[in-house]
Amino acid sequence: MIEPDGLAPTDASAAGSVLASRVTSSTLRRYAVTGGPPLFTIIRDHVRSIAPGTTVLLCFAEESGVEWEVPTLAGLRPDWRAAGPLLGRALAAASVLLARHVRPGLPGGKRRQVVEFLRQHQVRAVLAEYGPTGCDLMGACSQAGVPLFVHFHGYDASMLLNSQLWRRSYLGLFGMAAGIIAPSRFLGEKLVAAGCPEQLLHVSACGIDPARFVASSRIPQRLVAVGRLVEKKAPHLTISAVARIADRFPQLCLDLVGDGPLMRECRRRVEEYGLQTRVRLHGARPPHEVARYLRESSIFLQHSVTAENGDCEGMPVAILEAMASALPVVSTRHSGIPEAVQHGVTGLLSEERDVDGMAAAIGQLLVEPDRAEAMGLSGRRRVLDQFTQQQACDRLRAIMGPGIGPDRGRDKAVAE
């Protein structure tokens, strides 16, 4: 069994040993970063919190769309889907595929830019967000003599493992990386099965800022679900589960926050079940509005499943935010979710695609509000004990070793 890494020391002497550090954090491409607010938030938090004042940013997109306020090298590989005419996009896509098949990594000119950038800013460690980003950067990091740590998040440790091209690329990555980080034991075990040496692997769940969330007022029969409307989050199955018990609870309503390719299917099911006044599809909303929906609800729902292409969750941030809001979680035994949600203690779990099981779990908590409240409070304590942003950053600093941490007065360094 792969166990999570322990927390790093947080005493003053430990913090004082990292004044001269330089760390970079690299994301995949613009579409991977902007695919959903939770992961974007994780990357932003890594940039700002792991080594504040000593971070530089590598960005594959031409523009990050965010004022990071750190030295940035952007445009390492512009998004080919946004480039020029159809033929140009096709040729760019083919070149990316060929690079994956023959040798992962950046083109020679871009690799030299990265090497120069790392040396210019005296970078001591690179944190690459997502496995493919690590593959792109391993040549430059090797040439610059900078240790590379790669943080997997979900699809890169599940769906991509179905591709022989990616599995081969990952083997090369496992052979040169200084550390591989998974957000859950479940995904860590998948990476080990794909060839990652156990001694190279670290399990570190992502964390949230608990100060942004307060205990919910628990409006009776108010349910909430937050997340992209994509196959692995199965929002349409959440709607179906609510429909199963709607007649038993006349005041029951669901706020579903998020947008994505399944929005049309969600609307269709709402109409099919006659729930137009009881299921509200809000689309994507800013973080402060998400926090408001959480603090007004009594139960959080998420029916995560393994998508047909193998895509899995990592450690869903929305679930951690719900727990921080003292909401009991009704979800599934999927990927890292059982590592956060303790069945019968902080929530109730059913099997993937078991809509009747999820409906029954929701019904149990609706008829036992005291039990639901106790689960929610237990969940908040669990987040405060194990899943805060500070704890996650402490773990990552410990993984990357001495010299990585807050700097009092040095110029900054980060990567996206």
Per-residue pLDDT at 74: 86
329 with 226, same domain: the answer is yes
Whether 413 maps to a domain, the answer reads no
Per-residue pLDDT at 389: 93
Per-residue pLDDT at 99: 54
Per-residue pLDDT at 72: 87
Per-residue pLDDT at 323: 98
177 with 243, same domain: the answer is no
Measured over the CA atoms of residue 404, residue 405, residue 409 and residue 411, the dihedral's sign is positive
Using alpha carbons, select from 413, 191, 211 the residue that is nearest to residue 325: 211
Whether 241 maps to a domain, the answer reads yes
CATH of the domain at 293: 3.40.50.2000
Whether 416 maps to a domain, the answer reads no
Whether 410 maps to a domain, the answer reads no
- Over the stretch 195-208, which tens digit does the pLDDT of each residue have? 999 999 999 999 99
The domain tally of the chain equals: 2
196 with 255, same domain: the answer is no
118 with 187, same domain: the answer is yes
121 with 256, same domain: the answer is no
Per-residue pLDDT at 120: 94
- List the domain range (segments joined by +) for residue 347: 210-386
> Dihedral (C-alpha) 139, 106, 99, 75: value to the nearest 10 degrees?
160
> Dihedral (C-alpha) 317, 285, 26, 213: value to the nearest 10 degrees?
-40
243 with 197, same domain: the answer is no
Per-residue pLDDT at 5: 56
86 with 232, same domain: the answer is no
Whether 407 maps to a domain, the answer reads no
Using alpha carbons, select from 105, 177, 110, 107 the residue that is nearest to residue 146: 177
Measured over the CA atoms of residue 74, residue 80, residue 85 and residue 90, the dihedral's sign is positive
Whether 91 maps to a domain, the answer reads yes
185 with 304, same domain: the answer is no
Below-70 pLDDT ranges, the chain: 1-41, 62-68, 78-104, 403, 405-416
Whether 415 maps to a domain, the answer reads no
Whether 4 maps to a domain, the answer reads no
pTM of the model: 0.84
Q: Would you say 32 and 130 are in contact if contact means Cβ atoms under 8 Å apart? A: yes
Per-residue pLDDT at 261: 97
394 with 308, same domain: the answer is no
Average pLDDT, the chain: 85
Q: Would you say 130 and 136 are in contact if contact means Cβ atoms under 8 Å apart? A: no
124 with 155, same domain: the answer is yes
165 with 255, same domain: the answer is no
**Interatomic CA distance for residues 64 and 29, integer angstroms:** 9
18 with 100, same domain: the answer is yes
Q: Is 367 exposed, middle or buried (0-12, 13-18, 19+ CB in 10 A)?
A: exposed
Per-residue pLDDT at 36: 31
**Interatomic CA distance for residues 180 and 130, integer angstroms:** 10
